[in-house]
Amino acid sequence: MALITITGYPSSGKSRRAVQIKEHLDKHLQDSTYAGPSLKVSILSDELLNIETKAYNDSRSEKPARGALFTAMQRQMGQDTILIVDSLNYIKGFRYQMYCAARELKLRMCTVYVVATPELSKEWNEARQDGRTYAPETLANLIQRYEEPSSMDRWDSPLFTIPWTDDDVPADPIWQAVTAGNVKPPNTGTQVVAKAPTDALRTLEHTVTTIVSAIISEQAASQGLGGPITLALSATLKPRISLPSRNITLSELQRLKRQFVTVHKKAITLGTTEKGAVNWSDESVADKFVIYLEENLKP
């Protein structure tokens, strides 16, 4: 249904904002006037995944920590869930990766930027009593490297900025974003590519070669009269084609065959993002080749 990305400095109050957002969303969902689908609101955080703050001490430990968070996020996202990801999410590239994953599932998205000054983050970090205090050098490094979200970036939009001086979150705008906001279509680059079956290339070559031979035989029998004819390729495969009233040479058919095969070989090798199932049966190949010939054989 939706993905809410929380971002901000370490110890800036992100978890408190995540809880506030969840409470407001649950309240909306339980309201008697709500008539939408049945949804659940979940929070995913480093703490729930047992990712310790020391994982951010260096890049070698931080990379698998982000990987664990991303994997858990993918597992929990769905059309029946509003997922709040409560973590640092301080790198633009990582937020973009999350954005692409959500678009692939056609989820609504928004970003919540929890703002606090570096001095406040350091003060609140030292005062933490939950055992999740960042080492001073790690905290300073993360603050220095923090990449601030921008409403101009599509992966951060819509963006809700919540300063430390606000007692509560902008609940109604966030609710509108996750329940009525635009659903962006998946990027072509993130779509699953439909691969052709393993025998597709053999079927392509065999079918078009058989059609060329059948046309030459039918043309010899009709002495080049042209018109609609039925090509009896097998007991079940009998495509119809309209030929021009002239003698079609074998070299002309071979040239069109090579062009057709070259184009379709690329689709077989690289796959296709066409909607629906990709049909590489001999019937489908024959129909496509017949249409191609009719369009390219000059009268």
pLDDT value of residue 202: 87
Which has the closest alpha carbon to 184: 150, 154, 151? 154
Nearest to 118 by CA among 247, 18, 12, 254: 12
Give per-10-residue mean pLDDT for the chain (299 aa): 97 98 97 94 96 94 95 95 97 95 94 97 96 96 96 95 97 96 71 64 90 88 78 88 86 92 77 53 90 86
Query: Given the DSSP bridges, would you call strands 240-243 and 227-230 parallel, antiparallel or unpaired?
Result: antiparallel
Is there a contact between 82 and 130 (Cβ–Cβ < 8 Å)?
no
CA nearest 31: which of 183, 171, 158? 171
Per-residue confidence (pLDDT) for residue 271, from 0 to 100: 56
> Can you read off the two tokens belonging to residue 178?
């996750």
| C-alpha separations of 258 from 244, 251, 252, 262, 265 in Å | 20, 10, 10, 6, 10
Give CA separation, 275 vs 40, 214, 261, 279, in Å: 31, 33, 22, 11
So what's the pLDDT on residue 20? 98
